[in-house]
Structures are given as structure tokens and as C-alpha cells.
Structure 1
Amino acid sequence: MGPGLITGVADDDPSGIATYSHAGATFGLDMLWTMPLAFPLMAAIQLVCARIGRVTGRGLAANIKTAFPAPVLLAVTGLLLLANTLNIAADIAAMGDVTSLVTGLNKQLAAIFWVIVTLVLQVFVPYHRYVYFLKWLTLSLLSYFIVAMIVHVPWHDVAMRTIRPHVTWDGRTAEMVLGVFGTTISPYLFFWQASEEVEDLRIHHAEPLLTDDMGAAGELRRISWDTWSGMFYSDVTAYFIILATAVTLHAHGVTRIETAAQAADALRPLAGDFAYYLFAVGIWGVGLIGVPVLAGSAAYGFSEAMNWQWGLERKATDARGFYGVIIVSVLAALVIQFSPLSPMKALFWCAVLNGVVAAPLMAVLLLLGGRRLTLGKFVVSKTILALGWIATFVMAVSTVEMVLGWF
């Protein structure tokens, strides 16, 4: 278990929890179907990213740079940095809000506390130690399974509505589906997993498969197991968040949830203090994974685009540009907490930007995954590429539908 597990858990960051809670509160059990559909699609895309990193020994930005015109790379990395900063702002706000609810501390002071914690971990702790800490934090997602177990769940209805949801397809539904898929299949995860494969190569002083293909079969099996299991853990957790909020909040008429903190607070009178605290612990845990992954993925992409030294294993003095991007993006996200732009507005624009950039970026990744000039004999299988193109089509259609719904 490695980059795939951490990437999967980072997918369920506090803003993702807010989106899944909103889906469960608004649509009840009728949004559960999105998770079984999303699982093979998200896993396929992440498999492509992981393979590109392990085979070439370079991150996504470096590979895009060699295969596509410079404007493509600049557009992708620029939008990634902007979207990630807005997403970090929403995540930090959620962590601050939950801390305020549980401890009574001022939420802005709590946000500052979490920013300091995440920056200290990323800047001063070497990757080989930091990744060990992240792996243990993935256990925080178990809190959402427990929440679903301690509330009443009509399992027969859950099974039937997962297979045959009662959904009217309109602009509102399309926007929710795009929000769920945009949260589940996010550009920052693509950059992170590819670059973490490269980080692991550096730690173990190993060569990319293009240079040394000894043990390639075992490495590719490890990547496959790591990615499929990590995405399954992420997907099932998201399913349980939608389920828990559907059978509590939606069932009691609470249909407007905009933040993860609101979901936790609304859950308390319906499911009790234990469920409330579990929900809060989950938000803290995944926030401590999600914020570094968001900041780190932007730094990986931007640094490769600018030919800077990069890597969480490097000291800050040896990769100033890389760590500079991390620090600036997190501090800019903190500034948003004190600006007229609300964190929820930031999350909205983040979703829009992710929706705009995701489908074109996925197409670029899939073209790289099938390109022998990039991956040699390790090109991605036709089955995985087919799943990836289906995911790209779903994202593109949902984006168009959402935009048309606005008008």
C-alpha cells in the first residue's frame, strides 16, 4: 500500500465530504448509484497516472511537456494551481469550523493552527517519514463506516435505490452529478500519484522501468493492487458518507448542507454525540491528508513545468521553488478565510475549474498512456484506456450539462 492508498483517501478531503453530504441530504438514497459507477472510472485514470510516473521516472507535467505544445502545459498547471488553492481554502475552512464546533475556539484561529501544522509537516519532515504519517491517517476514514453502522439503515431500500435510483435528469441533477464526479475524479490526484511513484523511486534508489525493466511485472502488479484498493477504499467511504447523510439528514427534512461542518452539526441531534464526534474526527484526519496533497500536487506540476528542483524528500533549501509553491498556495488559501470571498464560493469556483480542466487533461493522460514514445512496451492496456475514455466522456457531458443548466 503506497501512493494509491494515500491518493484515494485524499480524494475524500473535507470539501469532498461536504459534496457527498450535500448529495445525501439533497437527493437521499438516489445519489448512491454514482459511487459504483465512479469506482472503475477513477481507478482507471489513476492507474494511467501511476504507470506514467513509475515507467518514465517523471511526473505528469514533465511528460506532457515532451509530448504536447507549451500552451497546453501552461494552461493545465495554471488552472491546477488556482483550483487547488481554492480547494485548500475550502478544506481549511471546514477543519476550522469543525474545530470551533467541538472546542469553542475561534474558527479563524483554528484555521491558522491547521495551516501551521500542515506547512510544518510538508516543509520540515522528509518524505520517507511524512508518508508513514499519511498512511496512518488513512484510518480516519473508518469513522464514516462506523457512523453508518450506528444509525438506522434500511438496507433493502439502499440496495434497490443504488441499482434503480428515482432521479429526474435536469440541470440540478447534472450539477450534483458533476460535483460528485468532479470531487471523485480530480486533476490534483493525477499529478500527486504520478509524482509519488517518482518519489518512491528516489527513496529506494531505483530506476524507471524504461531504464531498468527487471522486476517490471511485480512492480506493475504492486501499482495495480495499490491503486485499485486505494480507490475502492475511497469510493466505499464516499458511498457511506452519502448513505449516512441520506438516512439521517434527508430523512428528517434537512436538505441544505453546504459544508462538512454543517453536516456534522446537523447529524448530532439525529444520530447522537458519538456520530457527531466521529464525523468531526474524519474531517480532521482527511484534511491533514487532503491539504498537503492539494498543495503538493500543484507544486509538482508547476515545478516540472518551470524545470525547478522538486520533491518532498529534498530539503527546502534545495527546492526553493517547489516549497515556495506549497507555502504560497496554502497561505493564499488562509487569506481567503479573511476575505469577502467565502470558502463555499471558493469551493464552487474550484468545482467549475476542475470541471473545465478535468476532461481535457484526462484526454491528454490517456493519449500519453497509449503512446509508445512515452511508455515504450509498458503502454496501458486497452481495457484501462477504454474505461478512461468513458470517464472522460462522463466528465465532459456533465460539464456541458451543468453549463447549459445555468442558462
Structure 2
Amino acid sequence: MIYLDYAAHTPADETVLQTFCDTTRDYTANPSSPHPLGLTAKERLDAATREIAALVDAKETEIIYTSGASESNNLAIKGAAHQYRMRGKHILSTWLEHSSVTGALAALTQEGYEIEYLNLTPEGQVDLADLRAKLRKDTVLVSVCMVDSEVGLRQPVAEIKEILMDYPHCVFHVDAAQAAGKLPVSLKDADLITFAPHKFYGLIGSGVLLRRESVLLTPLIDGGISTTPFRSGTPALPHIAATATALSLALRERETRITYVESLNRRLRQALAADPDIRINSTTCAVPYILNISLPGVRAEKMQQALAEQDICLSTKSACCAPGTVSRPVFALTKDKKAALSTLRISLSHLTTAEEIEAFLAAFGKCKRTLYQ
């Protein structure tokens, strides 16, 4: 079985699993409890938080632990919009966003918020001139992913942040779920940053929201003492400790991993670009971990199923998207509905072997010939 769906989920590293098991076994008390065992657990929690904070250029008080990136995105977007609603109800975003972002924005429209979507350059990055033109005095939030989950397009978040310096009442949220552990992520570049460790060989069921100290949020979950007033609930100490381990490992190996994955990506691009029936949607601005292609005339799900029968596992779009629908990021980039209905997302890892790439190309060619008959 060949796995090429690392953008959806990565397998937990053995060291991360060991951290989780050790912490679960060694710290039995609630870190919020005032007795000796609770205080010992609190010390371990604080140590993990200090480690994470150092890795993302944040203060310990700027870290909010959640159940995953979807909750983090909802807390960031709804929390900021509700907190600052007296300033305005205008929000800017892009069609590249994950469904946990677009879904949260759609919910806000039911409350009277106005959502506008930014234009993209031909390479798939936010058009900064369009951003300047659409910003208003009542714009309270800009939400842009650092790397989108379907095409892998990297956005100029530092440049966007620079533009927003002229709008001190506008909060900048960045979904970094596909970037954390692979690219530098720093709270210096945004007001709110979302990520989840299961995207970089950590555990599923946990997430992080970085919140600049000056930014307030209206909580989604109320009641109970926790690590922050913005998100209640018993701190999941084993998950938090495992997140620190996963992030530390990923950043330590980042350069080696990206260099290797770039070589796999080049091989795929070389082989696929030689086929005139294939459109490569991932531009030069895309990260090497994701390669998105279209086969106009072939429904994406049929190719996915054909590849699955050859023991190849990959996605057509983000795993959170409904099957049989247009890929919003590909349509936003190409304005081609046929291309957006026939997308495949090949997502790579340092665990992917060169042999697996060759096996995929062989299986892909076989499936394509069958479906084009």
C-alpha cells in the first residue's frame, strides 16, 4: 500500500507516541488541581508550553490549546469577529481556505457580517493591490492561510501583515495547519495562528491557536479553569507534551526533509508535465509537499478509486470536503470548472520513497489509459 495523502494526516512519530505514553503514565492528576500531584502535572504542562512558545516566537500566555485546527480556526474567526463587532462587520479572506475557515465565515454571514474574497495573482498568491483596495475602516478581520491544503500555494503573510499595520483595528488570522513543522511559523507575522500536530507527525485530537497578547477573543466554550480564559476545559497534558515533541522534531529535521521532498516533487513534475492531458495546478509558489493536478474529462473520484484498486492512497481535495464537488482553490486559481472537478492531490513526506513515486507513476499511467478509453 502506497500512502500519498500526508496533507490529510501524518503518522505519529514513535518519539511522539513515547512522550504521550510516558506523560499519561507519569502524570495522573489534573494540572489545574492545587494538590501536590496536580502541581507536578502543572510543572510538566508549563515546561511543554515554554518549549512550544520558544519554537514559534510566542509568549507562553499567547498559546491556546484546542481539540484541533478546526476548533482553532473557529475560535480565531468567530472569537475575533464577536469580540470586535462594534468596530465593524467586514471580513476579508480567500477561496483557498480550509472548510473550517469558510464554514466559520459562512456562519458569520447569518449574523450580518460581510465577507469579501480577495483576488489571486496568476501564481496563486493574494493580490496585494486588491487587498489594499478592499480594506476598509470597518474591516475587523483578514483570514488567509499560510499554505492551502489542496494546491499547496504559499501566501505572503509577512507582506500582508505589513499592509495591515495601517489598519490597527483589523485582526490578521493565519491558518498554518499545512505550514507548521515544514515552514517557519512565527507570531511576529500575524495576530492569530492556527496549527495542529497531526499534520507534522504528532497526535490527532489536539490543536493550537497562537494569540497575540493584545488580541482578545470571545470564547466558544465557557466554564471551567484551564490554561487560558479564552478556551475552557481540562488541559490535555499528554497531548500537549506530545505536541511539543512533534514540533521540536519537525523543526530540527525541517531543512533535511524539505530538500528530500523537493527531489520527489521534481520527479513527479517532470513525469506528469510530459503528458499533454495533465494540467499541473501547483504553481512555482507551491510548497513541495503538495502537488495538485487535473485530468479534464475524468471525474476525480473515478481516478481516485482506480488508484485505490492499485493500492495507491491519495485525495481528490481536502479530506474535509464533500466528494463530487468543485475544488474551490483550483477554480479560484484556474477559473476552469472542468479542471476543478478533476483534481488529484498528491501529498508527500520524508517517509515517501523514490520507489513509491515510480510505482505511483506506473499505476497512474495504467489507470489513465483505462479511464480515457
Task: Work out whether the TM-score is over 0.5.
Answer: no
Name the structure, 1 or 2, with higher relative contact order (CA <8 Å, separation 6+). 1
Structure number with bigger Rg: 2
Q: TM-score, normalised by structure 1?
A: 0.28
Question: Which structure has more helix as a fraction of its residues?
Answer: 1
Q: TM-score, normalised by structure 2?
A: 0.29
